[in-house]
Amino acid sequence: AQKVTQAQTEISVVEKEDVTLDCVYETRDTTYYLFWYKQPPSGELVFLIRRNSFDEQNEISGRYSWNFQKSTSSFNFTITASQVVDSAVYFCALSEVNTGGFKTIFGAGTRLFVKA
């Protein structure tokens, strides 16, 4: 069975601090995909990144970076020099390849507060 755990319910930081959001996943599949989404106060989910299970390279996109480690089943997300606009709920998600299709399971989310 697949499972995504985001142990941090809420994180509060001051602007310009770096912050890491943790994500630990469980899966029996060897082929799977990991995602991060951002949910701002408006409610829509915004896609941030997808990573497949065969690509463990870390990725950097501006102030965002992701650390994928299969050995620890983790896919952590770091925001460097946080800004107030980063305040949102962030979801980590996992998709396994199931017969006939796919299903994406989300973690419970981490609410990030960035204070000015």
Partner 1 sequence: SQTIHQWPATLVQPVGSPLSLECTVEGTSNPNLYWYRQAAGRGLQLLFYSVGIGQISSEVPQNLSASRPQDRQFILSSKKLLLSDSGFYLCAWEEQGNTEAFFGQGTRLTVV
Q: How far is the CB of 30 from partner 1 (least distance, A)?
A: 14
User: Measured from the CB atom, is 15 or 38 closer to partner 1?
Assistant: 38
Q: Measuring CA to CA, how many Å separate 114 from each of 10, 63, 65, 105?
A: 11, 14, 17, 27
User: Measured from the CB atom, is 13 or 108 closer to partner 1?
Assistant: 108
CA 91 to chain centre: 5
Q: How far is the CB of 42 from partner 1 (least distance, A)?
A: 8
Q: How far is the CB of 95 from partner 1 (least distance, A)?
A: 5
User: Measured from the CB atom, is 62 or 101 closer to partner 1?
Assistant: 101
Q: How far is the CB of 17 from partner 1 (least distance, A)?
A: 24
- Residue 34, beta-bridge partner list: 51, 94
**Contacts to partner 1 by CB under 8 A:** 6, 33, 35, 43-45, 47, 50, 91, 93, 95, 97, 100-109
User: Measured from the CB atom, is 19 or 94 closer to partner 1?
Assistant: 94
- Residue 74, beta-bridge partner list: 24, 69
Q: How many CA atoms lie within 13 A of 64 on its CB side?
A: 15
State the Cα–Cα distance between residues 65 and 116, nearest whole angstrom. 22
